[in-house]
Amino acid sequence: MKNKILIVEDTPSDFERLQKILEKQNYIITHAPDGKTAFALLEEEPPDLVVLDIFLPDTDGFEICKHIRQYEDFASLPILFYTSSNNLDNKLLGLKLGASDFLVKGSDEREIIIRIQNLLDLKKVYDELLRLSVIDSLTHVYNRRYFQQRLMDEFERARRYKRDFCCVIIDVDHFKNINDSHGHPIGDIVLKKIAASLRYNIRATDVVCRYGGDEFGLILPETNFEGAYTLVERIANILCKKDVGKENLPIFITLSCGISSYLEGRALVMDELVTQADVALYNSKRQGRDQISLYGKPKVKQQ
């Protein structure tokens, strides 16, 4: 897969030189001549590396660097200052703000190529370590830490653009009985099969996480109560008909589910959204389990 590099440069000749050098290395190049365009591209088409000039018509490279380092999603994104300034104070300020490296315009082509490749190699290592830190080791879906971070990101995005999204907590009914009757290794098999089925049956934009023990969390962007209920009901029906045990030991399960909605639940903070999903989950259990409950909706539908 080709790496994508965003070059933030307002001088056409400087951009064209870099573009020519990097395209020969099979990198995909995007270009921002100013800060406004750079901010838009960072959100719409996140790159693998940013090459950044200090002096720009509407802002400076330091502000862009500072902006990038405010977001955890960009924690591993390398920033290479490529500038005509060889001033030590500028270098120190850039490094303090989170720059990865510096190059002076006119540097030898070989040095440019090597420095960029080194930064991309480091990003690859960092990304793999980060991936391992947010993946549940048993089920290989995301863990609760990642769930909390993504939920925060979706909450902020939904608030900014006034869009709905839903949070779902799913509990495996009477899972303790499976562990008590068949042992924890069988329980682990059940959890793995549930996680695989959840991952297979959600949309590419959705997120599934192991929330804890026998609970799973779903984050459903751009989704209201009706859409979330339809998706969760379909998944629950698939799983309730599926043997999640092992050969010669069939096991069938039911699920209790709670759904909260950012807009329809009027959540003011992220934690409130999770609390609402937990309240809805409790309602499902109180109604006899094998239920899907929507927070704030009096009617609980039977699967």
CATH assignment of the domain containing 32: 3.40.50.2300
Contact between 7 and 32 under an 8 Å Cβ cutoff? The reply is: yes
Q: For residues 158 and 138, what is the distance between their CA atoms, to the nearest angstrom?
A: 31
**Does the structure show a pLDDT above 50 at 303?**
no
Q: Is the pLDDT confidence value at 83 over 70?
A: yes
Would you say residue 185 has pLDDT above 90?
yes
Residue that finishes a domain, picked among 133, 152, 172:
133
Residue-wise pLDDT tens digits, 223-277: 999 999 999 999 999 999 999 998 889 999 999 999 999 988 788 888 999 999 9
Give the separation between CA 115 and CA 101, rounded to whole angstroms.
8
What phi, psi does 204 have (nearest 5°)?
-60, -30
Task: Note whether 104 and 189 are same-domain residues.
Answer: no
The whole-angstrom separation of Cα 48 and Cα 261 is 33
Predicted confidence (pLDDT) at residue 301 exceeds the cutoff of 50: no
Residues 78, 25 share a domain: yes
User: How many Cβ atoms sit within 10 Å of the Cβ of residue 179?
Assistant: 15
At 279, which amino acid appears? V
What's the pTM value of the predicted model, to 2 decimals? 0.66
Instruction: Average the pLDDT over 152-172 and give the result.
Output: 93
The reply to whether 138 falls in a domain is no
Task: Based on the fold, state whether residues 86 and 186 are members of the same structural domain.
Answer: no
Asked if residue 54 belongs to a domain, the reply is yes
